[in-house]
């Protein structure tokens, strides 16, 4: 099954929500709410690419998608609904602008244009005034994933516009998805 314009995907591990975390030998449910967007599964497995697509994403690759793709919500009448991306069973369709990272199952993540991922950095505080050194430096970070052939590279320290960052958990690390046009400075 192929689409003229959409990627056909399935949720990773066949689940729509990623709401459990392992702490030691115990597994904890961190949220039981379908409305909690922070625990929707954001990893999809590509079944097929759009007809005529000539990019680097291929069937079998993992992709990071928008948090609403696999989400279940309640409509105005209180009835349970799936996102518009749901086709049937565990098959979903997504547009290219809903794909934020991709990789083959054994490789490293790659960012498609126009997105990048920035790892927030912690700043050291004055030891005389504060003892906590875990404060995030506001609107600054280190580029972790950036499209190929961009003027910026992995490891560059950048600043970005306020309200342009969107938090994701990639490889168990907090990162911000940011559009390239919202990066202000290479520091």
Residue 41: C-alpha distances to residues 65, 133, 167 (Å): 9, 31, 14
pTM for this one? 0.81
The rounded distance, in Å, linking the Cα atoms of 108 and 135 is 28
pLDDT tens, residue by residue, 69-119: 988 888 899 998 899 999 999 999 999 999 999 998 888 999 999 999 999
Share of the chain above pLDDT 90, in %: 56
Q: Is the pLDDT of residue 128 over 70?
A: no
Closest CA to 177 of 104, 116, 132: 116
**Residues 124 and 88 occupy one common structural domain:** no
Residue 21 pairs with which residues in a beta bridge? 28
Q: Is there a domain that residue 68 lies in?
A: yes
Q: Is there a domain that residue 108 lies in?
A: no
The rounded distance, in Å, linking the Cα atoms of 152 and 24 is 38
**Residues 48 and 127 occupy one common structural domain:** no
pLDDT at 44: 95
Which of 103, 127, 161 is the endpoint of a domain?
103
pLDDT tens, residue by residue, 161-170: 999 988 888 8
The rounded distance, in Å, linking the Cα atoms of 9 and 46 is 4
Q: What is the mean pLDDT of the chain?
A: 86
**Residues 12 and 73 occupy one common structural domain:** yes
Query: In which domain, by residue range, is 13 found?
Result: 7-103
Span between the terminal Cα atoms of the chain, in Å: 46
**Residues 57 and 126 occupy one common structural domain:** no
Q: Is there a domain that residue 59 lies in?
A: yes
Total Cβ atoms within 10 A of residue 18? 19
Cβ-proximal residues to 57 (8 Å cutoff; 6+ apart), any chain: 7, 46, 49, 63, 99, 102, 112
Number of domains the chain is built from: 2
**Residues 19 and 89 occupy one common structural domain:** yes
**Residues 137 and 66 occupy one common structural domain:** no
**Residues 80 and 15 occupy one common structural domain:** yes
The rounded distance, in Å, linking the Cα atoms of 182 and 154 is 16
Place of tokens 């990893």: 43
Share of the chain above pLDDT 70, in %: 86
**Residues 75 and 18 occupy one common structural domain:** yes
**Residues 78 and 157 occupy one common structural domain:** no
pLDDT at 107: 87
**Residues 119 and 94 occupy one common structural domain:** no
**Residues 95 and 119 occupy one common structural domain:** no
pLDDT at 130: 46
Q: Is there a domain that residue 2 lies in?
A: no
The rounded distance, in Å, linking the Cα atoms of 165 and 144 is 14
Read off the DSSP letter of residue 32: -
**Residues 126 and 86 occupy one common structural domain:** no
């Amino acid at each position: 099954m192929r689409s003229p314009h959409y990627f056909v995907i399935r949720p990773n591990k066949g689940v729509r929500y990623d709401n459990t975390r392992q702490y030691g030998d115990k597994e904890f449910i961190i949220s039981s709410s379908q409305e909690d967007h922070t625990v929707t599964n954001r990893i999809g497995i590509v079944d097929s690419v759009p007809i005529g697509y000539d990019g680097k994403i291929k069937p079998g690759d993992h992709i990071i998608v928008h948090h609403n793709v696999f989400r279940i919500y309640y409509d105005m009448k209180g009835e349970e609904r799936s996102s518009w991306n749901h086709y049937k069973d565990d098959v979903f369709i997504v547009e290219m602008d809903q794909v934020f990272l991709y990789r083959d199952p054994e490789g490293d993540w790659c960012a498609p244009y126009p997105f990048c991922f920035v790892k927030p950095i912690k700043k050291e505080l004055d030891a005389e005034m504060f003892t906590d050194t875990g404060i995030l430096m506001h609107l600054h970070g280190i580029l972790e994933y950036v499209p190929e052939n961009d003027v910026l590279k992995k490891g560059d320290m950048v600043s970005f516009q306020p309200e342009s960052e969107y938090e994701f958990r990639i490889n168990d690390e907090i990162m911000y998805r940011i559009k390239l046009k919202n990066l202000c400075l290479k520091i």
